[in-house]
Structure 1
Amino acid sequence: MSYLELPDGVPLYYEDRGSGPAVLLIHGWTMNSTFWGQNVGPLSESNRVITVDLRGHGLSGKTDEGHTLSQYARDVRTLLDHLGVRDVCMVGWSMGTAVILSYVQQYGCDLLRSAAFVDQSPRFLDGEGWDFPLLGGYSTTDLAVFTQGVRHARPSVIKPFIAACFAETPPDEVIDAVYAETTKMATSAALSVWYDMAYADLRPVLPSLTVPTLLMYGARSKIFPGELDAWLAARLPKAQVARFENSGHAPFSEEPDRFNETLAAFLRS
C-alpha cells in the first residue's frame, strides 16, 4: 500500500504499477480505484498505470474538508509531482472527467500528454439550449430531492443509481457489492462534492484541452443519454470518439476487453 500525505495532512492512497508511458486512472463519485480491476493488469503490460483513491474515497483519508473538483484536481497535481510524472494520460470516469477539466482550468495542459473521458457531461443541470444534463433532465428540484434522499435514506437512493449505471441491470449481489464500496465515503463528504459538481459548468474549459482526447461513451447510457460524445468532439481541439454499443455509464466494466484494447491503441498513438 502506498500513501502520500497531502499538504493539508490528508493521506492519499495510490498504486503505481508497470512501466512505460504514464496513465492515471481517476474514478467516479463515491467510487474508488478498485473499480479499475479489469483494466489495470492489461494496461500495465506496456504502460505505467497509476490509480488513486481521491480524498475521502476508498482507502484515502476521511476528512470533511476539500471536497470540491478544484481541490481533487490539486490533489492529483500533488500526486504527479510526488511521483515525478511529467507526461501523463489522464483517464477520468464520470466525476473523474470533471476532475480532469478542473485540472485544465487551473494548470492548463501542463504535465498532460493526452486525456480520455469516460461517459461524463461538462454540465449536470438543465439549462436553456443544453441537451445533455444528468439523466436527460436534472433540475435544481431534482438535485434537492436526490441529496435529501442520500442524506436520510442513502441505500434507497444510491442502489437504484448504481443499477442505472449499467446497460443491463446487474444482479442484486453486484449492486450490493458496489454500494458497499461507495459507503467508504462519508455521506457529508459525498454530498459536498456532489453539490460542487452539480453546479459546475465546465463547458468553457473544453477549448483549453488541446492535447489528444479520447471520448469513451456508452451508447446505452442512462446517466447521460444522447450523443454527448459527438457534441464534445465538435468542441475539443483534438478529439476522437470510441462509442461502446453494449455499454451504459461504465464501459470499462461492461466491455472491458474492448475498453482496454481501445485505450491501449490510443496510448500507443
Structure 2
Amino acid sequence: MAYLELPDGLPLYYEDSGSGPAVVLIHGWTMNSTFWQQNVAALSAQNRVITLDLRGHGLSGKTDDGHTLAQYARDVHHLLQHLELRDVCLVGWSMGTAVILSYVRQFGCGSLRSAAFIDQSPRFLDADDWQFPLFGEYTAVDLAVFAQGFQHARPSVVKPFIAACFAETPPAEVIDAVYAETAKTPSSAALAVWYDMAYADLRPVLPEVTVPTLLMYGARSKVFPGELDRWLAEQLPQAKVARFGGSGHAPFSEEPDSFNETLGSFLRS
C-alpha cells in the first residue's frame, strides 16, 4: 500500500502488486479498491495490477474540492505519471468507466494499451434520442428525489441501490457491509460527483477510444438494463463484448472466476 500526494496536496491511496503489463482498476461511485479483492490475486499472476481509491473515497484524502469526472481522470493521469506507466489497460467499473472516458477526452489514448468497461452508460439521464439511461428511465426529477433522500436519509436510498447492483439480492449483512464502505465517502463529495456524472453526456467521446476495448456487462443488470453493450460495440472503433449471464451490475463480484478468466484472456491478447 502507498500514497501519492496529488498537486493540490491530497493523498491518493493505491496498491501495486504483481509484474508484467500494467492494469489499473478504477472503482465505482462511493466504492473503493477493496471491491476488487476477488480479482487482484488472479490478475496479478501475469500482470502488474494497480488499484486506487479515488479522491474522497476509501483511504484517500477527504476534501470538498475536485469531485468531478474530469478531476478524477486527472488524478488517474498523475498516478500513471508517478508510476511511469506506459501501455496501460484502464479497467473501469460503473463510474470508473466514466472516469476513463473523461481521461480519453483530456489526454487521448497515447499512454493506453487497451480499456475495459464494466456495466456503465455514457449518459444517465433520459433523452428523446437515448434508450439506455440509468435504471432504464432516469429523469431530472428522479435525480432530485435521489439527491434529497441521499442528503437527509442516506441509508434509505443507498442500500436499495446496492441491492439493485446484483442479479440476486444479497443478504442484509452483505448490503450493510457494502454500505459501510460507501459511507467512507462524505455525502458532499458523493453528491457532487453524482450530479456531475448524471448530467454528463460522454457519447461524443466514444469514437476517440481507439484502443481495443472489452465491454464486460451483466445480462441481468437492473442498473443499466437492455443491450447497452451491443450499442457501445457499434460506437467504439475496436470493441469486444463479454456478457455475463449470471450477473447484474457487478460481474467481477458475482462471477469472479469467469470475470478473471475473461479479462485475463483479453489482457494476454
TM range (shorter): over 0.9
Q: Distance in 2 between matches of 1:18 and 1:84?
A: 16
Once the two structures are superposed, residues 30-53 of structure 1 have per-residue CA deviations (whole angstroms, 9 ceiling, x without a partner) of: 000000000000000000000000
User: Is residue 136 of structure 2 the alignment partner of residue 136 of structure 1?
Assistant: yes
Which residue matches 1:75? 75
- Aligned residue identity for 2:138: Y
Q: CA deviation at 1:66?
A: 0.1
User: Is residue 237 of structure 2 the alignment partner of residue 246 of structure 1?
Assistant: no
Unaligned runs of 5+ in 1: none
Q: CA deviation at 1:110?
A: 2.0
- Aligned residue identity for 2:76: V
Q: CA deviation at 1:124?
A: 0.1
Trace 1:154-233 onto structure 2 (pairs within 5 A): 154-233=154-233
Q: CA deviation at 1:71?
A: 0.1
Once the two structures are superposed, residues 104-134 of structure 1 have per-residue CA deviations (whole angstroms, 9 ceiling, x without a partner) of: 0001102100000000000000000210000
TM-score (norm 2): 1.00
Q: Distance in 1 between matches of 2:260 and 2:157?
A: 31
Q: Distance in 1 between matches of 2:122 and 2:157?
A: 23
Q: CA deviation at 1:208?
A: 0.3
Q: Distance in 2 between matches of 1:101 and 1:110?
A: 14
Once the two structures are superposed, residues 134-188 of structure 1 have per-residue CA deviations (whole angstroms, 9 ceiling, x without a partner) of: 0000000000000000000000100000000000000000000000000000000
- Aligned residue identity for 2:199: Y
Which residue matches 2:121? 121
Once the two structures are superposed, residues 173-211 of structure 1 have per-residue CA deviations (whole angstroms, 9 ceiling, x without a partner) of: 000000000000000000000000000000000000000
Q: Distance in 2 between matches of 1:118 and 1:97?
A: 7
- Aligned residue identity for 2:193: V
User: Is residue 41 of structure 2 the alignment partner of residue 44 of structure 1?
Assistant: no
Instruction: Write out the 4+ residue segments of structure 1 that deviate beyond 2 Å after TM superposition.
Output: none
Q: CA deviation at 1:86?
A: 1.1
TM-score (norm 1): 1.00
Secondary structure at the residue paired with 1:127? coil
Q: CA deviation at 1:91?
A: 0.2
Q: Distance in 2 between matches of 1:6 and 1:76?
A: 10
